[in-house]
Amino acid sequence: MQVSKIFVLPALLLVTMQGVAYGQPKAVDPFEQNQKLGRGVNIIGYDPLWRNRDQARFQAKYFRLLKEAGFNSVRINLHPFRHMDTTNGWTIRQNWLDTMDWAMREAQQQGLIVVLDMHEFGAMGENPEGNKEKFLAFWKQLAAHCQNAPSTTLFEVLNEPNKKLTPALWNDYLKSALEIIRKSNPTRTVICGPAFWNGIGHLHELEIPETDRNIIVTVHYYSPMPFTHQGAAWTDHKDKLGVEWLGTEDDKKALNKDFDLAAKWAKEHNRPIYLGEFGAYDKAAMESRARYTSAVARAAEVRGWSWAYWQFDNDFILYNVGKDSWVEPIRDALVPR
């Protein structure tokens, strides 16, 4: 196996072979890891690069720009199901792994922590039992593939369990996935969250093995939906435009009430919290989008949470690829200048 390059990441000397980093990861306290996650951005979930790298919207330079802008991490949204071989034990195709390895390598060379987010929430929510074998086969392969990746690589078991993947069923699937992951990654930091779209109001239904302490719990936040999803074609709010978020006392009270509920749960269970998604769709007025984005990010930070904005270059847009420029009001709301 040919060695392609050597580079240094925090606390580790890594040797990359065919695009995969090798070197025993060091266990990191999950609260410390959560602080390192800091301010993040969701990336490349719906990018054509997964089909053809020549068609990529996201370019290597964007990792550097994210770091220079003050971000600490990226949440890489993975949709592997269509890239798994139905006739060969659900084997993940090598070109898909190569693309993932490229993104991991480029991010970590810029000092960004990587969250590998299993983002097949649609298929798992619609047909959990029919997709269970594929889901667990994915984690068996990905965990083995990344078992010697640095501690700056985190696994997120599943984005937004929903619909037929009920809280009880999700707890069962989560336990099975964790058992698979821990066989090859006993020291890896793993992220998981509650059913019902990682909703804060369902944290009390989440069951995590008490003895597994190297876990960060994730929640998502898009409240109030009539504001954050106005004009979004896939929602009931597609025809409702002009909704503002003014940051009134009532607005802030509702936000703090929701976040205090999560903070209370986190304290009771001694688990760190990662706000894995939040934002406002780009059909909302820019002033309201920026005001809301800033309020949510600061509310998370004051409670010691890490966060990842949804998302880099689509829908809730942070970076305009066509103009090759930041959407500055959103960037500055996330990371104040």
CB atoms within 10 A of CB 214: 17
Least-confidence region, from 8-12, 75-79, 143-147, 286-290: 8-12
CA separation for the pair 46, 52 (Å, rounded): 12
pTM comes to 0.93
Least-confidence region, from 1-15, 143-157, 272-286, 304-318: 1-15
- Give me the pLDDT at residue 253, please: 98
Q: What is the average per-residue pLDDT within 107-133?
A: 98
- Give me the pLDDT at residue 19, please: 40
Whether pLDDT at 232 is above 90: no
Tokens, residue 177: 């996935």
Q: What is the average per-residue pLDDT within 157-171?
A: 98
What domains does the chain contain, in order, with CATH numbers? Answer: 23-334 (3.20.20.80)
In sign, the C-alpha dihedral spanning 125, 43, 257, 327 is: negative
The answer for residues whose C-beta is within 8 angstroms of residue 260's C-beta and 6 or more apart is none
- H runs (alpha helix) in 16-152: 30-37, 61-69, 94-109, 121-126, 128-145
Whether a cis peptide bond, with omega within 30° of 0, leads into 224 is: yes
Q: How confident is the model at residue 26 (pLDDT cuts 50, 70, 90)?
A: confident
- Give me the pLDDT at residue 238, please: 83
User: In this structure, which amino acid lies at residue 113?
Assistant: I
| Residue among 143, 201, 202 nearest 171 (CA) | 202
| Residue among 317, 318, 320, 321 nearest 332 (CA) | 318
Longest dimension (CA), the chain: 61
What mean pLDDT, rounded, does the chain reach? 93
Q: What is the pLDDT of residues 174-231, one digit of tens each?
A: 999 999 999 999 999 999 999 999 999 999 999 999 999 999 999 999 999 999 999 9
